[in-house]
Amino acid sequence: MGYRQVIIKKSDKIKAENNNLVIIKEDKENKVPLEDINFVILEDNQTVITGKLLSSFGEHGICFIACNDRYEPVSIMYPYNYHFKQLENVEYQLKLTDDLKNKIWQSIVKEKLKNEVAVLCQTSKDDKTIAIIEQYIQEVKPGDVTNREGLAAKLYFRSLFGSNFIRFYNDSINNALNYCYQIIKSSIIRTLSIYGLNSYLGVNHKSKVNNFNLVYDLIEPYRAIADKYVYSLVKDNEPELSFELRRKLVNILNYPVICEKRKCSIEYSIELLIKSFIKTITTGEVKLSFPKLIE
């Protein structure tokens, strides 16, 4: 698995040549070894892409993301049939009982709320909201049937970004959050594929029209960490994200966290989480490796 994220802001053509990604612009070529890459994000929708390059992305386990005119990631290509035991892992997913799914979701929601508390302790230091969310953590039931996740979110976002903040508005904070979440989702999609898991088969998310139900489950503990990252970067209210800011947001995958009692990047922690998810569904014992915000 590679370690580099490549953002292509403007180019005439991209192709594969001698195991390199070749970026051509105005008759000049830049080359990046394919084995070093984990993500390619293409922002220029006028770029010509060769079929050989797309197949090379799949062979090297590279995730390819295309953006729209507003530089928002809107399409993703990820490796297919990459894992040697794909059918076995999918069979375990299909056999998951509702009881185990509910326990897994309970564990995910608790960890998400713990990270929200950690973020507020480092930012707004809003003791009242922190105390309420800490109480919610104790009240999360299997399947989160009392929706402590949703109740916490209403308090959490306004404590972090201000009382006037409304999620999903078209402003710099929301756009940066969406961008960060999409990058993390893309990494989860790629890693699920590499480890032979089916992203359709979720734990709590069960939509028949969502190809990434499991991704939406597993991203939850990462959202607060991404929120903290955005909080430290976004200082203005311009809806359009600058290229420099987008470049920094993509780097969220290298943001340090604690996972399995050691410091690592978000990207590596995703691999640890998915490995622990496989162990959970094969043994029936919920022991997930979650990322934690560094104090």
Global confidence as pTM: 0.88
Q: What is the pLDDT of residues 38-82, one digit of tens each?
A: 889 999 989 999 999 999 998 898 999 999 988 888 888 887 765
| Mean of pLDDT over the chain | 93
Percent of the chain surpassing pLDDT 70: 97
Fold adopted by 86-283: Four Helix Bundle (Hemerythrin (Met), subunit A) (1.20.120)
Mean pLDDT of 190-208: 91
pLDDT value for 79: 78
Looking at domain 4-77, its CATH superfamily turns out to be CRISPR-associated endonuclease Cas1, N-terminal domain (3.100.10.20)
pLDDT value for 84: 55
Q: List the chain domain ranges.
A: 4-77, 86-283
* Amino acid letter, residue 109: V
Q: What is the residue whose two structure tokens read 């969406």?
A: 178
| CA dist., res. 285 & res. 185, Å (int) | 25
**Sign, Cα dihedral of 80, 84, 89, 94:** positive
| CA dist., res. 229 & res. 235, Å (int) | 12
| CA dist., res. 49 & res. 243, Å (int) | 22
Beta strand extents in the chain (DSSP E only): 4-8, 13-17, 20-25, 28-33, 37-42, 48-49, 63-67, 73-77, 256-259, 262-265
